[in-house]
Amino acid sequence: MVQSRLRATFMRGGTSKALMLHRADLPADRDAWAPIFLAAMGSPDPNGRQLDGMGGGISSLSKVCVIGPPSRNDADVDYTFAQVSSSAAVVDYSANCGNMSSAIGPFAVDEGLVPRPDGAEAVVRIHNTNTGKIIVARFPVQDGMAAVEGDLALDGVAGAGAPIRMEFRDPGGARTGRLLPTGNAADTLEIDGLGQVRVSMVDAANPCVFAAASALGLRGTELPDELERMHDVLARLDAIRCAASVRMGLAADIDAAARIPSVPKVAVLAPAGEAPTLSGRTLTAADADILVRMISVGQPHRAVPLTGALCLAAACRVPGSVADALLTDAACSGSLRIGHPSGVVLVDAETATGPDGTVVHHATVYRTARRLFSGEVYYRTPR
């Protein structure tokens, strides 16, 4: 069989990596994309390792970004995110990836999809087609190209890089149209093996369902490898995800929810306290305002997904939510320090409370990104 090939770039964005593709190089029919993405990433792989493709065997390393001309007047580029399952023949377009969003602006500048900036800073308005939301990326440039060198260090990423300021405009209701899809700060779900579980279902940047670790028989400080061995716990967390998907209006029923494994993301929360990290560092109560362990596509994340961190920041600002109840008084305003398995991420969410409840005007985070290679990706699709 003769292999097919496609112009491609491989980039790290935040704590994720993805294959970057031009929209113009793909078939006009989007239904034809999935077989290409699966083959290029090495999925499905019953071993879950994706050794025959570009994927890395975990959700944060099995991603595809498609970038092209804007379809809106208030954007400079369109960006579509695809989450590729490592073990199943599933390509999910139901959510965005905040970490990979940080790579879109530098990619657009370097590929000439937007005019070369005249000054020392580029500003790229990104339309994420998965959520219909605008993300504004600001980052330094050098000789007309996105700068790479800088002093911003991210927990979970070795070294440092040039800072990329990501401003997620009006992130509430990214999928459901409402910050609180059920209209409530907290709800109760009936889950087999757990009984009634109090959760908060919030839709900001990406839909998430939040539950206190204590309600699930967990500490909230477990590292990913420990969670991966808790097969019964992961099954119950997925049951929470499916039940929340239905209650949030993302899926018509539990069976439909099972077919869209990337949303909502499931977050296990705990109050700030001593917590181990993957680097061996131990966080203290003074290092973070809240702790989170997040599950996406059935896998515990090594670092909190950026959109999950943005959604958690919004949830922390909703009075009466599960997240709000776990915060100390000192963390009830200003920026939030979110502790996760790789360290701490700082998120600034500008919110206001009005007659219709909490409104998120924007959420801001800083990331780094780097081009790893450019060339062609080879793949074999089924006959």
pLDDT at 332: 59
Percentage of residues in the chain having pLDDT higher than 90: 87
What is the three-class DSSP state of 199? Answer: strand
Tell me the torsion sign for CA atoms 338, 344, 345, 349: positive
CA dist 349 and 361 (Å) reads 8
CA dist 185 and 202 (Å) reads 8
pLDDT at 178: 93
Report, as an integer, the average pLDDT of 122-148.
96
What is the three-class DSSP state of 100? Answer: helix
> What single DSSP character describes residue 63?
E
**pLDDT at residue 189 greater than cutoff 90:** yes
Helix segments in 292-382, DSSP class H: 306-316, 322-326
For residue range 81-125, what is the model confidence (pLDDT) as tens digits? Answer: 999 999 999 999 998 999 999 999 999 999 999 999 988 999 999
For residue range 338-371, what is the model confidence (pLDDT) as tens digits? Answer: 999 999 999 988 888 777 778 888 889 999 999 9
Report, as an integer, the average pLDDT of 73-79.
98
Task: Look at domain 187-360 and name its CATH class.
Answer: alpha beta
pLDDT at 328: 74
Determine how β-strand 121-128 pairs with β-strand 77-84.
parallel
For residue range 307-340, what is the model confidence (pLDDT) as tens digits? Answer: 999 999 999 999 999 999 999 766 656 689 999 9
CA dist 307 and 81 (Å) reads 13
CA dist 132 and 37 (Å) reads 22
pLDDT at 276: 97
pLDDT at 330: 60
pLDDT at 331: 62
φ, ψ (nearest 5 deg) of residue 287: -85, -25
* Region label for 69, one of left (φ > 0), alpha (ψ between -120 and 50) or beta (otherwise): beta
| Residue 46: cis peptide before it, omega within 30 degrees of 0 | no
**pLDDT at residue 157 greater than cutoff 90:** yes
Q: Biggest alpha carbon distance in the chain?
A: 63
For residue range 294-310, what is the model confidence (pLDDT) as tens digits? Answer: 998 888 999 999 999 99
For residue range 19-52, what is the model confidence (pLDDT) as tens digits? Answer: 999 999 999 999 999 999 999 999 999 999 999 9
What is the three-class DSSP state of 217? Answer: coil
Residue spans in the chain of domains classed CATH 3.10.310.10:
4-163+368-379, 187-360
- Matching residue, tokens 């320090």: 337
Helix (H) or strand (E) holding 337: strand 336-340
Helix (H) or strand (E) holding 228: helix 224-228
**Are the C-beta atoms of residues 305 and 265 closer than 8 Å to each other?**
yes
User: Under CATH, which number does the domain 4-163+368-379 receive?
Assistant: 3.10.310.10
Burial class (CB in 10 A: 0-12, 13-18, 19+), 376: exposed
